[in-house]
Every structure is written in structure tokens, then in C-alpha cells.
């Protein structure tokens, strides 16, 4: 077993779960369907091809920089049409996530090679959001995604310079991962059964929100929390 | 191995509002912790698609319409003037139903003639596909003898160039979907910027003649001025799958390149006329993966009294291209850059210096080298 690290960062990304019709939302972290789709695209699989091997991989995500919500108002109209079709597409702007994907070593190696030289262009949830150049963080001999994401030597904190300067001296990074067998978790319906346009279907999975990871931020600012100041004084 | 052609541009816009949100303000995004101007991917693609008609023959482009039955029937009448128009409509409707489209009779007012059947949504068909289907139907007496496969074959091969680049979705039958071969990023300002308000007044000419003071109306328009970074990439192999002809791929890539350079969304341009061209256009041909240089601007560019924004942006872009090569060994197979003279020396690292025209000419050789001639089918 080994683990592949990916780095989802850049101006825009969008990870929809259960999002249909005119308001296309984004989740707060990369979805399993988004990651599986990206890996399938890297391997050059068509939408009709089977993805059960990729669905079986364990994934975990660490929110290194939460980003902000961006709502893009989108109109579409054909020549001669009276009315436009409206939609509102949500993106995360300025966000950064460390993604850990673990599975059987042979498959992880194949995926790491494919992501570096993909058959189809890769994107962060939506076609207009290309992956960054340093997308691949490497492959490590460790099978537990949580252990990997707690180790800043393996998966360094991706926050950018401006964010570090504005943030506090230490932060807690949200971390979530697929539940282990028998474990309880939040139910998320983002496991693709197939990407075939005629048979798009999703199963659910259990996601565990783990204890956040503390990261020290020497570049950050001391923030006087008025609440704690008041508590101390009284 | 897949071949990708990456397109990069730095493009400075004077105060304008080419792409606005529902509040009328120019679109923006946060990147590197600061707000910047943004032009959405879909607005850029729509502008390119609109400009295609100046560079490509209509026969190579698609028609987006609900009136697919009428479209085919008219073409049948052009091919064979003896065809009865009702027979043509009947045959076209049968063929479209066979292909998997749901066509229904549109509602008409009392006393009006019934209208030909239409699809429930816009269908993007290549003009060439319409021709081939009309040709087939003119020479087929009994349309019911055709199989679903026969009709889908016509509508799902040799796609129009715009359909092949930007893709197609068919709600009734996903088998007719086309995967886009071009990926276009939202254009993003290289520096922090906020919208500005233009307060305006309009004078009533009649009142002015009466020497009355005061305006006939007042209002505000929001506007923004930025140097934008634009990025797009074409997957040449996917484009070949969609088009099926090497010569068509050449024309598609060249039309894409030309419109990438020249076309901008037209929002509020009657008010602002910010018809500028990019100061730098760079192309990188790659065989490993597409690479965007947007992170050159994660740290926003800050102009100062000595160095202007365009120069600093070009320097940052060139240094990102170098960093990508040094850090990841991602050396493009070919790279060219067309830059205005004052930026040429800064832009050197982006590729060999050419004019925009030469850059577009060079793309022919790229496509011809990638797609072996034995793959050529249906060449005209």
C-alpha cells in the first residue's frame, strides 16, 4: 500500500456534491467524484469505462487555505432566442487543499505517472479550472491517509505567503477522510458508480471529520482575542 | 502520449465592463488574497465562437437551434427542388426521432398554420452533418427502414469545428454528446483592482433649448481597468477524434489561435470601446501535460514609478515559464512568443520571438507533425 499526494490550489476550483439545475454549488473540500473523475481522465478512460478500482481508493483531504466563495452568474442564449438560460455557479477562489489517495502500490504508481502526463487535461472540479503545475506532491510508502496528512514533512502546508502573513501564529487545519470499516461518519453522496452520461449515478460513503491538524505559522500575527482578554481580566 | 497546445496572453484593458454579473458590476475573483478583475471562461468562449464565422466557412461550423426538423427539410429542398415540402418535413422528423431526439409540435395561436416539429432544447448540429443527413433522406424512400445507428452515425461523426472545440450536450440521448477538446480558464487580473463608478448625466435637448438646467436622467455604470492573464489549452488528440480529418484540425487550431488573440466579450463596448489587443501572446506545445502560468500572479503585480505594469507582468510570466522548466523539467516541444516591441526582451524566456501571424502559421506544422497522414480520413 502507498499514498499519492495531490495539491489542489489556484485561483478557482469547484467541487459539487448533489448539485443540479440552475444553482451549481461547491463543497468546502474536494469531492470523491471530482478526484475519481480526475484520475480517470489522467488514465485516458472514457466516460463509459469502469471506475470501480478508483472508487475503492481511500481519500483524505486537508484544508490548507479555505478560500472564499465566488458565485459566477452565467447566462446562455442562442441566436434568435428571446430569453437566456440563467445559472449561478459557485467556486472556491484562492483555496488550497492537500489530497491524499491511498491504495495498492502498483495502482498508485500508475496513477502518479498518469497525473504527471495525463491523457486528458486535468481540472479542479470544473473544466475552466486547470490544475496547478506543482499538482503532484509525490508517492509515499504509507497506507493511512490521515497519518500522511498529519505529517508536514510529507505534505507541507500549502498556504501562500499573503495568507501566512495575515493568519495567526498557529492554525488548525480541517482534515477529513473516508471512514475505516466499521467507523461512523457523515454520509456524503459523491461516489461515482459510472461517469457515463446516460447512467450518471452516485453511491454514498462515510466521511470522518478528524481532529484538525495544528500548524505553526511563524510568519503570522499575534491576535489579541478580545474575548479571552476579557476572560483573563475578570 | 497526448499533445496539448497551451495559449497564454497578457491583455491590458482600459476602463470597461466587457463581462458583468447580475448586479451589473464587472466580474471579479479573489486570488492571492486580493480582489481582481475576472472575465468568465464562458464569455470568452462565446466571443471566440462568434468570431469563428470570420475565419471559417459556415459549412464547417455548427448551427444551434431547436428547429432541427425544419433545418434538415430546407436543406433537402435545396438538394432536390422536386421534393415535396411536407414529405421532407415528415422524413426529417422521422429521422430525428430515430436518432433519439424528442420532437414535438410547437403551440400555435388559433387560426394559425401548424408549425414544423421542434426539439425541446437547443441542439448543436454541424452544417456538414445537416448536409449529409439531408442527402441521405433525399435518397431514401422509406425512412423507417433506416436504423438508429445509420442516423446517429451521420450526426455523431465529422463534427463541426466549434462543436469539436467546445463540446455538445444532448439531453435526450447522451450517445450524441461530444467531449470538448478545448479548455479555457477564466481570465484574471495580474494585480489587485476594484471596480470604479462612472456617474453620468444625460441632458434633454428640448429642455436645454428652453435654457432649463438639470439632467434628463442620471445613473452610474461600474467599470474596471486591468492587465489580464488569459490561458487556454487544446487537446489535439481529442480534437482529431471529434473532427476526423487532419486538415480540419489544422483549420480548427488556427481559428482558435486567431480568435484567442482577437476576440473579447462585447459587454458595454458601445460605452467604453476598449478594443485592445494582447501585448504578449505565447504558445507552448507540450506532450506531457498542459501548464497554466497563472501562479506567476498569485503575488499581485505592483507597478511603481519606474516600471509599468505590463513590463512587470511580462517579467513575472517569463520567470514562471523558467521556473516550470527548472523545477519540473516540463520543457515544451515548441514555444513561440509574439510581444509588442517594448516587451520583447522581457518575453524572451517564453519562446522564440515571432509575429502573431507567424505564430498561427507555425501551428499548421505542429498539427501535421502530431497527426500522421495515414490517419487522414474524409479529407476534402
**Predicted structure pTM score:** 0.83
Encode burial over B239-270: b for 16+ CB neighbours within 10 A, e otherwise.
bbebbbbbbbbbbbbbbbbbbbbbbbbebbee
pLDDT (0 to 100) of residue B39: 97
Judge contact between B336 and B354, C-beta under 8 A: yes
pLDDT (0 to 100) of residue B35: 96
Beta bridge partners of B4: B235, B286
User: ipTM, 2 decimals?
Assistant: 0.72
Residue A110 has a CB neighbour count (10 Å cut-off) of: 14
Query: Could B298 and A127 be called an inter-chain contact, meaning their C-beta atoms sit closer than 8 Å?
Result: no
Angle subtended at Cα B2 by Cα A43 and Cα A104, rounded to the nearest 5 degrees: 20
pLDDT (0 to 100) of residue B374: 54
Minimum-distance CB partner of B4 among A67, A68, A121:
A121
Query: Could A10 and B295 be called an inter-chain contact, meaning their C-beta atoms sit closer than 8 Å?
Result: yes
Query: Could A133 and B328 be called an inter-chain contact, meaning their C-beta atoms sit closer than 8 Å?
Result: yes
Confidence of residue A234 (pLDDT cuts 50, 70, 90): confident
Residues 6+ apart with CB under 8 A from A101: A3, A4, A5, A6, A35, A39, A57, A58, A59, A108, A111, A145
Give pLDDT tens digits for B232-265. Answer: 999 999 999 999 889 999 999 999 999 999 999 9
- Between CA B220 and CA B199 the distance in angstroms is 4
B179 touches A: beta carbon within 8 Å: yes
Q: What is the mean pLDDT of residues A138-157?
A: 95
Query: Could A121 and B233 be called an inter-chain contact, meaning their C-beta atoms sit closer than 8 Å?
Result: yes
Judge contact between B285 and B366, C-beta under 8 A: yes
Query: Could B64 and A68 be called an inter-chain contact, meaning their C-beta atoms sit closer than 8 Å?
Result: no
Whether the pLDDT of residue B289 is over 60: the answer is: yes
Q: Which has more pLDDT, A148 or B373? A: A148
Substitution target in B25, B33, B230 with the highest count of A β-carbons within 10 Å is B33
pLDDT (0 to 100) of residue B375: 47
- Between CA A40 and CA A20 the distance in angstroms is 22
Give pLDDT tens digits for B180-203. Answer: 999 999 999 999 999 999 999 998
Q: What is the mean pLDDT of residues A35-59?
A: 95
Give pLDDT tens digits for A198-228. Answer: 788 899 999 999 999 999 999 999 877 788 7
pLDDT (0 to 100) of residue B107: 84
Give pLDDT tens digits for A9-19. Answer: 999 999 988 77
Kindly identify which residue of chain B lies nearest to residue A90, measuring between CA atoms.
B29
B169 to chain A: which residues are within 8 Å by CB? Answer: 197
pLDDT (0 to 100) of residue B113: 84
Length of chain B: 380
Whether the pLDDT of residue B171 is over 80: the answer is: no
Dihedral through CA B58, CA B61, CA B65, CA B69, nearest 10? 80
Residue A92, SS3? strand
B132 touches A: beta carbon within 8 Å: no
Window 190-209 of B: residues touching A by CB (8 A cutoff) are none
Amino acid at each position: 500500500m502507498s499514498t499519492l499526494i495531490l495539491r489542489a490550489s489556484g485561483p478557482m476550483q469547484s467541487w459539487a456534491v448533489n448539485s443540479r439545475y440552475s444553482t451549481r454549488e461547491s463543497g468546502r473540500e474536494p469531492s470523491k467524484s471530482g478526484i475519481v473523475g480526475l484520475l480517470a481522465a489522467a488514465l485516458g478512460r472514457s466516460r463509459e469505462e469502469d471506475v470501480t478500482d478508483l472508487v475503492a481508493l481511500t481519500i483524505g483531504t486537508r484544508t490548507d487555505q479555505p478560500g472564499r466563495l465566488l458565485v459566477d452568474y452565467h447566462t446562455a442564449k442562442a441566436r434568435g432566442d428571446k430569453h437566456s438560460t440563467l445559472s449561478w455557479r459557485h467556486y472556491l477562489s484562492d483555496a488550497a487543499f492537500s489530497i491524499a489517495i491511498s491504495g495498492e502500490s502498483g495502482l498508485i504508481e500508475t496513477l502518479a505517472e498518469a497525473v504527471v502526463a495525463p491523457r486528458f487535461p486535468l481540472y479542479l472540479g470544473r473544466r475552466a479550472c486547470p490544475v496547478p503545475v506543482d499538482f503532484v506532491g509525490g508517492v509515499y510508502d504509507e497506507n493511512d491517509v490521515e497519518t500522511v496528512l498529519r505529517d508536514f514533512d510529507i505534505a507541507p502546508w500549502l498556504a501562500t505567503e499573503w495568507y501566512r502573513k495575515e493568519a495567526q501564529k498557529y492554525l488548525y487545519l480541517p482534515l477529513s477522510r473516508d471512514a475505516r470499516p466499521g467507523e461512523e461518519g457523515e454520509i456524503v453522496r459523491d461516489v461515482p458508480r459510472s461517469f457515463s452520461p446516460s447512467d450518471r449515478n452516485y453511491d454514498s460513503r462515510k466521511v470522518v471529520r478528524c481532529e484538525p491538524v495544528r500548524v505553526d505559522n511563524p510568519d503570522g500575527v499575534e491576535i489579541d482575542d478580545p474575548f479571552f482578554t476579557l476572560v483573563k481580566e475578570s | 502520449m497526448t499533445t496539448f497546445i497551451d495559449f497564454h496572453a497578457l491583455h491590458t484593458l482600459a476602463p470597461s465592463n466587457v463581462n458583468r454579473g447580475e448586479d451589473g458590476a464587472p466580474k471579479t475573483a479573489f486570488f492571492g488574497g486580493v480582489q481582481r478583475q475576472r472575465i468568465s471562461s464562458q464569455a470568452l468562449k462565446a466571443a471566440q465562437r462568434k468570431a469563428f464565422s470570420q475565419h471559417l466557412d459556415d459549412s464547417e461550423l455548427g448551427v444551434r437551434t431547436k428547429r432541427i426538423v425544419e433545418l434538415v427539410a430546407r436543406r433537402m429542398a435545396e438538394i432536390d427542388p422536386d421534393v415535396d415540402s411536407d414529405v421532407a418535413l415528415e422524413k426529417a422528423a422521422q429521422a430525428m426521432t430515430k436518432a433519439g431526439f424528442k420532437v414535438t409540435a410547437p403551440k400555435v395561436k388559433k387560426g394559425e398554420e401548424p408549425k414544423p416539429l421542434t426539439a425541446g432544447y437547443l441542439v448543436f448540429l454541424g452544417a456538414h452533418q445537416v448536409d449529409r443527413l439531408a442527402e441521405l433522406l433525399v435518397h431514401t424512400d422509406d425512412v423507417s427502414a433506416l436504423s438508429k445507428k445509420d442516423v446517429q452515425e451521420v450526426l455523431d461523426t465529422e463534427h463541426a469545428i466549434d462543436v469539436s472545440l467546445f463540446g455538445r450536450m444532448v439531453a435526450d440521448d447522451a450517445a450524441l454528446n461530444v467531449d470538448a477538446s478545448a479548455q479555457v480558464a477564466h481570465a484574471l487580473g495580474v494585480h489587485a483592482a476594484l471596480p470604479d463608478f462612472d456617474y453620468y448625466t444625460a441632458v434633454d435637448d428640448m429642455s436645454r433649448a428652453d435654457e432649463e438646467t438639470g439632467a434628463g436622467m442620471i445613473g452610474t455604470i461600474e467599470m474596471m481597468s486591468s492587465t489580464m492573464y488569459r490561458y487556454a489549452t487544446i487537446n489535439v488528440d481529442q480534437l482529431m477524434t471529434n473532427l476526423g480529418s487532419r486538415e480540419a484540425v489544422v483549420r480548427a487550431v488556427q481559428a482558435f489561435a486567431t480568435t484567442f488573440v482577437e476576440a473579447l466579450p462585447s459587454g458595454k463596448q458601445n460605452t467604453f470601446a476598449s478594443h485592445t489587443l494582447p501585448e504578449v501572446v505565447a504558445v507552448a506545445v507540450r506532450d506531457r501535460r498542459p501548464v497554466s502560468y497563472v501562479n506567476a500572479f498569485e503575488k499581485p503585480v505592483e507597478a511603481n514609478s519606474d516600471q509599468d505594469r505590463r513590463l512587470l507582468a511580462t517579467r513575472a510570466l517569463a520567470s514562471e515559464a523558467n521556473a516550470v522548466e527548472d523545477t519540473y523539467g516540463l520543457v515544451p516541444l515548441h514555444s513561440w512568443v509574439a510581444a509588442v516591441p517594448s516587451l520583447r526582451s522581457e518575453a524572451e524566456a517564453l519562446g522564440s520571438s515571432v509575429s502573431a501571424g507567424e505564430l498561427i502559421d507555425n501551428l499548421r506544422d505542429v498539427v501535421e507533425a502530431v497527426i500522421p497522414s495515414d490517419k487522414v480520413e474524409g479529407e476534402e
